[in-house]
Structures are given as structure tokens and as C-alpha cells.
Amino acid sequence: MSQALADQACEACTSDDEPLTEAEYTEYLDEIEQSVWEVVDGHHLEGTYEFEDFRDALEFTYEVGELAEEEWHHPDIHLQWGEVRIEMWTHKIDGLHKTDFVMAARMDRMHEEYAPDE
């Protein structure tokens, strides 16, 4: 892919669209943080981000919420001390769509701001 996944538009799908097949979503998996994300049962993305404290995890959760509202694509978000777990799929098609991977790539980019200085 010539353009970074995080820079691509979140495209709304229609109920006529089919969920991505394993062959289709595999190419997108290569463009998101593989230590964070996995495809579960061929149905949804699940990712876990780690943080140094609760405050950073909470602030990241807020940023994910703002992104979700902006793109009108809302993941399930689970917040706990030092960790945020995200579950995401396209409800309209009850499966994965390219937009799920675009959102994951954007979250990966946002999470980079929270990496401890080395």
C-alpha cells in the first residue's frame, strides 16, 4: 500500500458490503502494531495498549473516544490501571471492514505519544 493506513479515510460501509475475508484482512494486519492487535475468530480486532499509569491510560481512552466520535466508528473500550483494551468490528456487517484497520492504525499512532522516553 502506498499510503500509510493511518492516513487513509475511514469509509462508511453499506449493509450490502461483506466482511473482509482472511486473505483480505491479512494485508491490513501487516500495517498495524502486531504486538498490540489480533484478529479474533475472523470477526473482530482486539488490541491491548499498556501505559505507565492510570492517568495516561485514561487520557488515551479519551483520545480514542474523540476519534471514534469524529469517524462515527465506535469500539468497545476497557480501561484499567496501566492498560486499555479495545475491541472493534463493523457492526453493520457484523465483521471486519477496512475502516477497522484504519482506526487501529490511528490508535497505534496516538499511542506512540505515550511511549516512555528511552
Digit-coded pLDDT (tens) for 101-112: 999 999 999 999
**Burial 14-39, CB ≥16 within 10 A → b, else e:** eeeeebbeeeebeebeebbeeebbeb
Question: What's the whole-model pTM score?
Answer: 0.92
Domains plus CATH for the chain? 28-114 (3.30.1360.20)
CA neighbor of 82 nearest in space, from 114, 61, 46, 52: 52
Q: Taking residues 82-103, report their average pLDDT.
A: 96
Q: What percent of the chain has pLDDT over 90?
A: 86
**CA 96, 57, 102: angle at the middle one, nearest 5?**
25
Q: What are the beta bridge partners of residue 38? A: 46
Digit-coded pLDDT (tens) for 42-60: 999 999 999 999 999 999 9
Q: What is the pLDDT of residue 1?
A: 40
